[in-house]
Structure 1
Amino acid sequence: MTLQDYHSVLAEVRACTLCAAHLAHGVRPVLQLNPKAKILLVGQAPGRKVHETGIPFNDASGDRLRSWLGISREVFYDEEQIAIVPMGFCFPGTGKSGDLPPRAECELTWREKVLALLPNIEFTIVLGKYAQAYHFRNHRGNLTQLVQTWQHYWPDKVPLPHPSPRNNLWLRRNPWFEAELLPELRQRVHRLVEARVSV
């Protein structure tokens, strides 16, 4: 992959209108990437606030996620350290019980092309069921069962519940997540961030 390839694919993604007819709020692909990034963060799709600002995880979910990772906004939004590539690049709209699922067109059209632009990824953080269905295809079970087996995938990748306030009940029911997984997560992220900074 050349730098020209990177800029070409990224320009195509940002100009994509494949789902325009299905997006009530319009097209606005939101992602963050750079070939130097060592951490890949995979979410579902932008929410309404992210759609409005064009900044990934610029909401309450993002605040909680940065707390989980133990990093500042400055580090989080440094594209040379952290790539953010959701399953769907545009806000899909709101349904009866929350945001609609990511549009399938994104995965089919762009996912492999975009991930190919990130040759230095050492650690992938996977949030929510749609992202986990792609990155943990062989797992059979629910979210809790997947997250409980996080050590099976360590240190290459880790499944996390979505940091949305909607998951407060899950967090209360699963105190082991904050007691056991989060300290290891923060250490892993800090090592990669420190390695990047010290170069």
Structure 2
Amino acid sequence: MLRFDWRNYLSLEASIGRRSLMDMIRWTNIEDYEHGISRHWLRRMAKRELPGTYTLNEALLKVARRYILANVAGNSLSGSFQTSIEMACESNGQHCNIPSALSAITIPSLFVPEHHYVESVHLMNSRGIPLHPAIAVVQTPAREYYILRDTGQEIGCEEAGGVYKCWLDVIRCQEDGVST
């Protein structure tokens, strides 16, 4: 459920034809990432793309964007304003006390912590077996996450041995994300 103040702000932005949510994404490594998604991976996917058709690449990019949006640390319209630097400090467990003249700005900045940058998205496991239709795997610089394709929500990670046990019966899949 979208918070009331965000819903109003986003409706206003859409009504005047301005920004998309992805345009509000902020990240620290702009040389290697585009909205938190690896530029290298985006270039590789663009080389494989067939013009004029909805491709697997577009589906993978949509999943990557949903994962990014599911993992932002946003500065709220109703809460205190934070710059991207302050949000980066907070996501790293540090306290940044930077005086800001921009505290009255009401444009949301959706900050993506570095450990959630997308290196690649996969719809098959490492053995080449297709994952359950509801699941994708996102490779980040830190680890591999099992996520819901439709929302980008994390439902497992490689360090936990795959899909979390509480999701196995809900989705009807195995720990490696393959349908049962």
The TM-score range, normalised by the shorter chain, is: under 0.3
TM-score of the two chains, using structure 2 as the length reference: 0.27
User: Relative contact order: is structure 1 or structure 2 higher (C-alpha 8 Å, sep ≥ 6)?
Assistant: 1
Max Rg structure: 2
TM-score of the two chains, using structure 1 as the length reference: 0.25
